[in-house]
Amino acid sequence: MATKSKKSIKILFIADIVGRPGRKTVREILPNLRKKEGIDFVVANGENMTTGNGMTEGTMKEMLDAGVDFFTAGNHVWKKPEFLSELEKKETPVVRPANYPEDSPGDGYRIVKTNFGNILIVSILGREGINAQVESPFKCIDEILEKTKGKYDISLVDFHAEVTSEKVAMGYYLDGRADIVVGTHTHVPTSDARVLPNGTAYISDAGMTGVRDSVLGVKTDIIIRLFTTGIPQKFEQETEGPKVFNSVMVDISADRKVKSIHRFDLEI
C-alpha cells in the first residue's frame, strides 16, 4: 500500500462526547488542534453525543465537520431508533459493540482506508457491571483479529466497559496483538496511559468530553437525589459551566510501531 513519507502517525482518541456541550467543545477545540498537532486521524466515542444518550445522523455530521474521522460506540448506541438504519449503511463511519448478537444493526468492526494505511477499528462491550446480552468480549476480539489478519496496518480497539479489572485484563490480553486499546464508558479519565510490555498503547478510560461539573454529564443534584433517596430519577443533562475535552494521543512510527500514548486534556 502507498503510504505518506512521514516520520510518525498521530492518532487522537476523543473520550465520550456528551450531548450538545460536548459537541460544542469538540467544535471549538478540534479544528485548530488537528492542524497545530499535525494529527492524522481522529476517532471519538459518540454513543452519547445526542442529548447525552445515543447518536443521530445530524450530530454525526456535525462532528465529522469538526474533524472527527470515525466513531466508536457502546451500550447507548441503540437509544435513538432513527439511527439504526444509519448504522446499517456501509458509508456510516460508526462501529457498535461487536459482541452484540450477529444480526444487530451495524458493524462491530471496520477497516478504514487512510493515506497512511488501513486502520482496523473495533468497538467491544465489557460484561462486568453492564446489563447487556453480549457474548464474551475476549472470544469476540479473538475472532475479529483472526478474520482480519493481514488486512490492516494499525488497529484500535475501544473497550467500552464498567469495571477496571476487566479493562486492564483486556489490555494485557491484547498486548502485542492490537496497537491501541482505549477504555471508555465510565466518563472518568484514568492516569494509566502507557505502552504495555509487548507494544500496545493502553489506557483504562479516556474520560468524557462535556460539562465538567456534572455526574458523568448529568446534573449533579439529580444523581445525588437518586443515591440519597433510592428513587429512580429522570436524568437531565448539565449544560452550564466549564467543559472538559478528554482525549489520548498515540504516536505510531512510520513502520507501524507504537511509540507513545499520553493524555491530552483541555478545558474551556
Distance CA 8, CA 201 (A): 15
Nearer Cβ to Fe ion (50/114): 50
Distance CA 155, CA 176 (A): 11
Q: Which residues, numbered 53-82, are part of the site for Fe ion (CB under 5 A)?
A: 74-75
Nearer Cβ to Fe ion (72/75): 75
Q: What are the distances in angstroms from CA 39 to CA 131, 135, 252?
A: 36, 34, 11
Cell (9 digits) for 48: 452519547
**What are the residues whose beta carbons fall under 8 Å from the beta carbon of 35, sequence distance 6 or more?**
none
Please report how the helices 164-174 and 137-148 are oriented relative to each other, as an axis angle in degrees rounded to 10.
Answer: 30
User: Is there binding between residue 34 and Fe ion (CB under 5 A)?
Assistant: no
Number of neighbouring beta carbons within 10 Å of residue 189:
20
From the CB of 160, what's the least distance to Fe ion, in Å? 6
From the CB of 123, what's the least distance to Fe ion, in Å? 11
> Which among 76, 160, 185, 187 is annotated as catalytic?
76
From the CB of 79, what's the least distance to Fe ion, in Å? 10
Residue indicated by cell numbers 439529580: 222
**Site map (CB under 5 A) of Fe ion, residues 83-112, x = contact:** ------------------------------
> Which of the 8 DSSP states describes residue 184?
E
Distance CA 59, CA 42 (A): 16
How many residues belong to the site for Fe ion (CB under 5 A)? 3
From the CB of 208, what's the least distance to Fe ion, in Å? 11
Cβ atoms 175, 141 nearer than 8 A:
no
Residue indicated by cell numbers 494509566: 192
From the CB of 61, what's the least distance to Fe ion, in Å? 22
**Site map (CB under 5 A) of Fe ion, residues 159-188, x = contact:** --------------------------x---
Nearer Cβ to Fe ion (74/183): 74
- Catalytic residue check, 185: no
Cell (9 digits) for 72: 466508536
Residues that bind Fe ion (CB under 5 A): 74-75, 185
Q: Which residues are catalytic?
A: 76
